[in-house]
Structure 1
């Protein structure tokens, strides 16, 4: 884990919450997808104290990785998956997709509100990591927008507008100014603009993030009660077994047992994918 401190009052826009977290993500990055359960639990237990701002940080060189993958596939080069570059490994498993198009689409969704943008990001990641679809494809983006309950006409109009492109460029600029070199990266600020922020890159156990939250708040926060598992499943619609294990502090075996119990009650259904088991809430 690398932690970096910094001071910059320009990033303080707390909206009456004592702690703000800048979460730098690449929508096509598997580690960013893996961090989602931790972010969900932080929001549940410490929601009244913190505001999480998603900032897109895309390594556009991944476009070149995608092109190399296509070339290697057509030439039947079998040693692609042995490359040490982690992004290269994922590109072997995942469909060729443009992180730039996906990112502009997310910014277009955010023009309909922060929650709309978050829902769209989740839908986009599900299509990429669960269904292995190209999230730069028009039909896939339309599906994501529809499931995220966006105004479709407004969404596609915004996608081709200067507003979404400029918003994405603004995110890239923020990432550059904060020296964000990898995703996911979290930068924590408290309400005292004179205090330093803390930057952490990578994915770590939930307790690491809790320790930072508690250290940065002036008063020890009161942890909020977790919702029932049924309520959690109903809200998030599609969850992975490790996600439930993380949120409810269960072993994978315990989480799977609880989920299977609800499957037999016909509350959820099991979806097996190459990335593991997912559970969809039944309406």
Structure 2
């Protein structure tokens, strides 16, 4: 595992829970998408102790995706991530319907965040769903507007902020933070505890959930009491949509058992099944 100390406490927020995690992500990264079930489980088990701050850090791979050769490389990488993680994503869309402007999606996320942290998180998840589940082109302005609407954003404010210099500067600030903290790949997580004199721990790459859980417990002075996981129905009520593999990983059960439990919810008309790309998702029925 690649992990190292980060010593500059100036990045540590004073408005935090006992542990703050800086999560550097690229909305177009399949590895960041594959991290989703681990982040969900961290939040569910350690929510009283953990605050997650998203920092956008677009990789050179996705920023330089205009050539056919580069798009083929990204497509191959997506398919490899899908094979390793089980999270559905289909690299073929980079050949049939490639994202043309990776910057636009990042600017849109920053515009959404201007309506609040939770609004920004909802919008980020929404564009990831459009990309990986619906196989939509998130460099399309209309797709981004649909995501904003689904995320319950103020559309007029969102459109104004997307076209303002403020959202662009906010994205540039994220890129600067990533550079100064020597974040060269996504996903990368940097863990800080509430003692600003302590060193942070930086972990780059995608690892089993237990690695992140161990770091959380290591950085908290007292061994935290984990939250009991909610029911799968409550999980979907909170996160709205999830892949079968996400449910399996969060609840430490087999994919077969997860699918059985999800089908039971479907028969009771609590969720609906969504086939997408090379995987299955389940959407909570409001």
TM-score with structure 1 setting the length: 0.91
Q: Residue 75 of structure 1 aligns with which residue?
A: none
> 3-state DSSP class of the match of 2:54?
strand
Cα distance per residue 1:175-196 (max 9 Å; x no partner): 0011111100000111112211
Q: Partners of 1:209 and 1:91 in 2: how far apart?
A: 27
C-alpha contact (below 8 Å) 1:105/1:141 kept by paired residues = yes
Aligned-residue CA RMSD (Å): 2.1
> 3-state DSSP class of the match of 1:48?
coil
Q: CA deviation at 1:272?
A: 1.2
Q: Residue 87 of structure 2 aligns with which residue?
A: none
Q: Partners of 1:273 and 1:84 in 2: how far apart?
A: 16
Q: Which protein is bigger by CA-based radius of gyration?
A: 1
Q: Partners of 1:249 and 1:37 in 2: how far apart?
A: 11
Q: 1:1-283, aligned counterparts within 5 Å?
A: 1-65=1-65, 67-69=66-68, 81=72, 86=77, 92-94=92-94, 95-97=97-99, 98-283=101-286
Q: Partners of 1:211 and 1:243 in 2: how far apart?
A: 20
| Number of corresponding residues | 274
| Structure 1: gaps of 5 or more residues | 73-78
Q: CA deviation at 1:233?
A: 1.2
Q: Partners of 1:208 and 1:233 in 2: how far apart?
A: 25
**Residues 247 and 177 of structure 1, relative CA distance in 2, 3 Å threshold:** same
Q: CA deviation at 1:262?
A: 1.1
C-alpha contact (below 8 Å) 2:9/2:199 kept by paired residues = no
Q: Partners of 2:14 and 2:275 in 1: how far apart?
A: 41
Q: CA deviation at 1:87?
A: 6.8
**Residues 83 and 99 of structure 1, relative CA distance in 2, 3 Å threshold:** closer
Which moves more between the two structures, 182-191 or 13-22?
13-22
C-alpha contact (below 8 Å) 1:62/1:87 kept by paired residues = no
> 3-state DSSP class of the match of 2:52?
strand
Runs of 4+ in 1 over 2 A off after TM superposition: 59-65, 79-95
Q: Partners of 1:83 and 1:116 in 2: how far apart?
A: 29
**Residues 84 and 160 of structure 1, relative CA distance in 2, 3 Å threshold:** closer
C-alpha contact (below 8 Å) 1:17/1:50 kept by paired residues = yes
C-alpha contact (below 8 Å) 1:24/1:55 kept by paired residues = yes
Cα distance per residue 1:14-57 (max 9 Å; x no partner): 42411110000000111111111111111111011111000000
Which moves more between the two structures, 54-63 or 37-46?
54-63
Q: Partners of 2:278 and 2:103 in 1: how far apart?
A: 24
Q: Partners of 2:2 and 2:200 in 1: how far apart?
A: 13
Cα distance per residue 1:58-77 (max 9 Å; x no partner): 02452432x212xx6xxxxx
